[in-house]
Structure 1
Amino acid sequence: MLVLGAAAAVLACAANAAMPVSGVAQVPRSDYQALHWRLIGPFRGGRVLAVTGVPGNNRTFYFGSVDGGVWKTGDAGRTWKPIFDHEPVGSIGALAVAPSDTNVIYVGTGEGDMRSDVAQGDGVYKSTNGGRTWTHLGLADTRQIARIIVDPHDPNIVFVAALGHPYGPNAERGVFRSLDGGRHWQKVLYLNDNTGAVDLAFKPGDPRTVYAALWQTRRPPWSVYPPSDGPGTGLYVSHDGGDHWTHITGHGFPAHPGRIGLAVAPTRPDWLYAIVGGAWNTAGLYRSEDGGATWRRLSRDPRITQRCWYFCALTVDPANAERLYVMDTIVLRSNDGGKHFLALKGDPTGDDYHQLWIDPTDPKRMILGSDQGTEVTLDGGKTWSTWYNQPTAQVYKISTDDRYPFWVYGSQQDSGAFALPSQTIGYDGITMEEFRELTPGGENGNVVPDPENPNIVYGDGTGQPPPCRSSMCAPDRCAMSIRCWPIPMRGIAPIGRCRWCSSP
């Protein structure tokens, strides 16, 4: 379910209550047909995998939420406007602004990672007027689109990296190319129905040279971390605009890579960086200085490859080939070509950063997407805009109490549980002033108030230590953990399979 704030889940619960259930009073649908959707929050950003901006424009940026559509700012992140709400899908995996015509925007739907709660899409969309209107361009069965790149000189030449179905095989995956602005598509790189494409990059100054990363992976629905890796994973290059491809193997590149993330260096066109996941003895940061012919591993720092299946993203400074940024649980920066990394932003508990776009005309101007939302900087990272102005939260579970007006409780992905009122007497409506953070429930569990005392809230969490947990939150903000079965103990595996988000 797509939840843009908590209101959607509340009304969905009302609809479910009208379904026939033995022994339960029935509510005719006509009794609530006059209800309208109303946003109540929280205004705390949700997970973002796709960000971009307009080169040379220091105010206009875009981001794509994995469950909240596409958003645009004209004031460098001070305010955001939804521009994709009239389309039938809300999960966004990729965004690309055409460099030669910035009114042309391509959107790839379906988040391009393999979380156990992955949200799927229905293909590619295009706008020719800066996001005011959209046209669906097909590729509906790709389900997950991880990257889109547009020829820097021709807005009609576009490449799409389609990861495909997360839970099973399908044919509509791999690298697709359009030469006519998306009216027709050609599958130009395809290995098999278990292997999709996860990243793409043009060689700077030569868009006929295209690099592509394929990833063979599968998400078992009972698994929390990580998804599976397969032998189809690999790195490819085309020197004729995608007509023919060569598999890059050997010469310093690992023979059995995990997920691969790519980045090119605009000031050194032959330099190609790759973050490679997989086995500890081969994972790390690699660089080729001859367009992919030979490679050397620059770093095996575990901070840049932990959970590579979830992150695996890097960006090179457009003015300095030796300065690069790696997105992981924190943002790391290297000033010496990847030999050493310093933490730039985040904390060890993990804000979970996914993509960084840097303006090619001004390296101080960036936009960053994370599990917490989107931030913009105009001064090279010294200051950032807030993510507390984006109602794009992924809310796993929802409940209400019996007060009037009633309060809504939920658990938000990677941000934790919350409570907020269903209405307020303030002129500005429901704001973050009324928002309350909660201890019970964590980021993915049930959050349920005591029916006789809403100051007492119970919650559980799956996949957190302990994996099944109940807590009690009293008015003095204290919390108590109450253990319940199953409890993992040292040397003893938990019984049965565990999902990230269990049913209530």
Structure 2
Amino acid sequence: MKTRQVSFVNAAFRFAVLIVGFQIAAHLSQEAKAPPPPRKKLPPGAMHALNFFAAARAYPDKIISGGGFYRAYESSQATLQKQSPQKSNATKWKLLGPKNVGGRTNAIAINPQNPNTIYVGAASGGLWRSFTAGVGVEAWEYVDTGFPVLGVGAIAIDPVDTNKIYIGTGEVYGYQDATGGVTIRTTRGSYGIGILKTNDGGATWSKSLDWSYDQKRGVQALAISPQNSNIIYAGTTEGTYKSTNAGASWTQVHGILMVMDIDINPQNPDIVFASCGGLGSPGAAVYRSTDAGLNWQQLTNGLPINYTGKTIIGIHQANPRIIYADVANDFRTVGIYRSDDGGDSWRRVTTLDIAQYQGWYSHFIWVHPTDPDFIIAGGIDLWKSTNGGVTFTKKSDWAAWQFGVVPVGGPEGPPHYSHADHHAVAGDPFSPDIIYFTNDGGVFRTTDGGETFEGLNGGYATTQFYNGFSSATSDSTLAIGGLQDNSTVIYEGTDAWRRVIGGDGCWTAIDPFNHNVMYGEAQNLNIFKSTNRGHENSWFSATSGINRSGAGFV
């Protein structure tokens, strides 16, 4: 009986093992038929390289601190060995240009006592000055502030003592999101170090608003009271600031972020307008103070708020109750609005899409000083109205730019050419038909009230080269590089570089064994090839077999 019981237990055990075995085999079979789990997408090698590059410079921290760059600058100034005069002369750098093509320019100010003296602020070329109203082969000279200034976003000249000048540094369109814009356009720009001031016409400079150690900031607008030049307002990424002692100290008077424009009533300087908002920052709207910045009111009553681009204001100087506001979302104009009662109420006069896809980036409104119905609106191109914005006529065409070797000092195109993407405007204080514009191609002006235009870029070496610049291996007078919004340019041994291809120039190459063979690129991986050293009409597409879908901006 015991033997039979043991045999039964053994049989049951074997049967159970057999059943479990079948189940395991079935499970394994199902697993074998199931698709493998998706592989985790890893960052590209380029991202690893960039992270390593940054980590090595941030060590022992994980990221470079807000003031790290300026501390490094101070350290280099203090510790780098000074070269002897003989050795210094032997290793001195020489500017090659281009001197016939201007670069992106964000700010302009005209000396109110002498309109031949003009200051402009480049996006990454610092501060420049002309004593010839921008006219001539060597019209511009670089103004060395003694500080590490790339982008200049605002300039203000004291109307009483024009030797006193203020500049706001940085170029920021999205709050704490200026990272160069190589792939994502809306991150274009650079951070600044605050506000600098000179008392001697630019010979020496000092810090006024010192943001050297908190550098994820920018200053986009400056306005000096027309009745007391010790009072200055600054529009910054951090809000509206005010100085009552000519920039010796500053106080934040309004905390809404991303102030893109500041305007003061020319007859009552207690009335101040601040346009806030950039790329969807909170509180986007136009604000008004009637008590010199103590209190602020958000203006609505016909004027939109919470736009995603920016708004630029234009006040009629003779009758400042007439005000225009150029309002845009990030990629489309919302409209141009007009107030006839000092900002209490507004009406939209046009929905014409002047800013287009640059609503976050480049547009303005300018009002004639004596005729309130004569306005010029800048966006990608320049538009003019003589009936208060009811109708506009397009006056410039960026696509008319000339290729090849344009002469230093111009012309750069026909009379209806002004480069694309207009950022700032300033009128001659004595001749209202003379108006200056800055755009992605430098400095332009009209002398006939916006009917024709001319480039003023002689010697204004501020173009922005993307990486991928190429030099010939055995010819020191041959090189090629791609520019931000200024096509691809070829150095041929002179100040006037050859402009080719178009668009934003990007990476380039020169065949090391045959310098007649060159490669250039425009945005979105549009690759071109030339077999005769890049001369006009010699470039052809070289993208056959390349999948360009999803390619980055550059």
Q: TM-score, with normalisation over the residues of structure 1?
A: 0.79
Query: Which stretch shifts more, 136-145 or 312-321?
Result: 136-145
2-side partners of 1:299 and 1:254: how far apart? 14
Residue in structure 2 matched with residue 314 of structure 1 by the alignment: 365
Query: Which stretch shifts more, 138-147 or 48-57?
Result: 138-147
1-side partners of 2:540 and 2:294: how far apart? 62
**Partner of residue 275 from structure 1, selected from 326, 336, 354:** 326
Query: Which stretch shifts more, 331-340 or 85-94?
Result: 85-94
Please give the residue correspondences for 1:270-419 in structure 2 after superposition, counting only pairs within 5 Å: 270-278=321-329, 283-347=334-398, 351-381=420-450, 382=452, 384-397=454-467, 398-405=469-476, 407-419=478-490
- How far is the alpha carbon of 1:76 from its aligned partner? 1.4
2-side partners of 1:122 and 1:135: how far apart? 12
Is 1:147–1:199's contact at 8 Å kept on the other side of the alignment? yes
- How far is the alpha carbon of 1:177 from its aligned partner? 0.6
- How far is the alpha carbon of 1:214 from its aligned partner? 1.0
Is 1:154 the counterpart of 2:204? The answer is no
Residue in structure 1 matched with residue 272 of structure 2 by the alignment: 210
Is 1:453 the counterpart of 2:514? The answer is yes
CA RMSD of aligned residues (A): 2.7
Report the structure, 1 or 2, having the larger helix content. 2
Residue in structure 2 matched with residue 234 of structure 1 by the alignment: 285
Question: 2:219 is matched by which residue type in structure 1?
Answer: I
Is 1:284–1:304's contact at 8 Å kept on the other side of the alignment? no
- How far is the alpha carbon of 1:246 from its aligned partner? 1.0
Task: Render the CA deviation track for 1:395-420: whole Å, top value 9, x for unaligned.
Answer: 11212111232522211111111121
> What secondary structure sits across from 2:171 in the alignment?
coil
Taking a change above 3 Å as real, the CA distance of residues 119 and 341 of structure 1, as seen in their structure-2 partners, is: same
2-side partners of 1:91 and 1:321: how far apart? 33
Taking a change above 3 Å as real, the CA distance of residues 305 and 98 of structure 1, as seen in their structure-2 partners, is: farther
- How far is the alpha carbon of 1:351 from its aligned partner? 1.9
| Runs ≥4 residues deviating over 6 A | 279-282
Residue in structure 2 matched with residue 420 of structure 1 by the alignment: 491
- How far is the alpha carbon of 1:231 from its aligned partner? 4.2
Query: Which stretch shifts more, 205-214 or 146-155?
Result: 146-155
Is 1:473–1:479's contact at 8 Å kept on the other side of the alignment? yes
Q: Tell me, which stretches of 5 or more residues in structure 1 are unaligned?
A: 1-15, 20-28, 164-172, 218-228, 425-429, 489-493
Residue in structure 1 matched with residue 304 of structure 2 by the alignment: 254
Is 1:90 the counterpart of 2:90? The answer is no
Question: 1:49 is matched by which residue type in structure 2?
Answer: N
Taking a change above 3 Å as real, the CA distance of residues 53 and 376 of structure 1, as seen in their structure-2 partners, is: same
Question: 2:441 is matched by which residue type in structure 1?
Answer: Q
Task: Render the CA deviation track for 1:94-114: whole Å, top value 9, x for unaligned.
Answer: 111122222211100112545
- How far is the alpha carbon of 1:92 from its aligned partner? 0.6
Q: Tell me, which stretches of 5 or more residues in structure 2 are unaligned?
A: 1-52, 57-80, 175-185, 401-418
Is 2:332–2:355's contact at 8 Å kept on the other side of the alignment? no
**Partner of residue 202 from structure 2, selected from 97, 116, 131:** 131
2-side partners of 1:446 and 1:86: how far apart? 32
Question: 2:538 is matched by which residue type in structure 1?
Answer: C
Taking a change above 3 Å as real, the CA distance of residues 130 and 346 of structure 1, as seen in their structure-2 partners, is: farther
Is 1:118 the counterpart of 2:203? The answer is no
Taking a change above 3 Å as real, the CA distance of residues 281 and 395 of structure 1, as seen in their structure-2 partners, is: closer
- How far is the alpha carbon of 1:237 from its aligned partner? 0.5
1-side partners of 2:333 and 2:507: how far apart? 40
- How far is the alpha carbon of 1:176 from its aligned partner? 0.6
- How far is the alpha carbon of 1:262 from its aligned partner? 0.8
Larger Rg: 2
2-side partners of 1:286 and 1:301: how far apart? 11
**Partner of residue 431 from structure 1, selected from 478, 495, 510:** 495
Is 1:284–1:305's contact at 8 Å kept on the other side of the alignment? no
Question: 2:525 is matched by which residue type in structure 1?
Answer: C
2-side partners of 1:158 and 1:353: how far apart? 25
Task: Render the CA deviation track for 1:64-84: whole Å, top value 9, x for unaligned.
Answer: 111111111111112111113
Is 2:330–2:358's contact at 8 Å kept on the other side of the alignment? no
2-side partners of 1:354 and 1:107: how far apart? 16
Is 1:62–1:70's contact at 8 Å kept on the other side of the alignment? yes
State the identity %: 28
2-side partners of 1:416 and 1:292: how far apart? 42
2-side partners of 1:457 and 1:274: how far apart? 47
1-side partners of 2:528 and 2:330: how far apart? 38
Q: Aligned residue pairs: how many? A: 428
Is 1:38 the counterpart of 2:91? The answer is no
Query: Which stretch shifts more, 128-137 or 283-292?
Result: 128-137
Residue in structure 2 matched with residue 443 of structure 1 by the alignment: 504
2-side partners of 1:377 and 1:275: how far apart? 21
**Partner of residue 49 from structure 1, selected from 90, 103, 106:** 106
1-side partners of 2:547 and 2:210: how far apart? 43
1-side partners of 2:517 and 2:230: how far apart? 57
Task: Render the CA deviation track for 1:395-447: whole Å, top value 9, x for unaligned.
Answer: 112121112325222111111111214xx5xxxxx321xx22233x8524101
Is 2:525–2:552's contact at 8 Å kept on the other side of the alignment? no
Report the structure, 1 or 2, having the larger strand content. 1
- How far is the alpha carbon of 1:233 from its aligned partner? 0.8
Is 2:444–2:453's contact at 8 Å kept on the other side of the alignment? no
Residue in structure 1 matched with residue 245 of structure 2 by the alignment: 180
**Partner of residue 197 from structure 1, selected from 259, 263, 281:** 259
> What secondary structure sits across from 2:298 in the alignment?
strand
Question: 2:229 is matched by which residue type in structure 1?
Answer: P
Is 1:117–1:500's contact at 8 Å kept on the other side of the alignment? no
Is 1:101 the counterpart of 2:157? The answer is no
2-side partners of 1:461 and 1:65: how far apart? 23
Residue in structure 2 matched with residue 222 of structure 1 by the alignment: none
2-side partners of 1:280 and 1:385: how far apart? 27
Is 1:233–1:256's contact at 8 Å kept on the other side of the alignment? yes
Taking a change above 3 Å as real, the CA distance of residues 184 and 300 of structure 1, as seen in their structure-2 partners, is: same
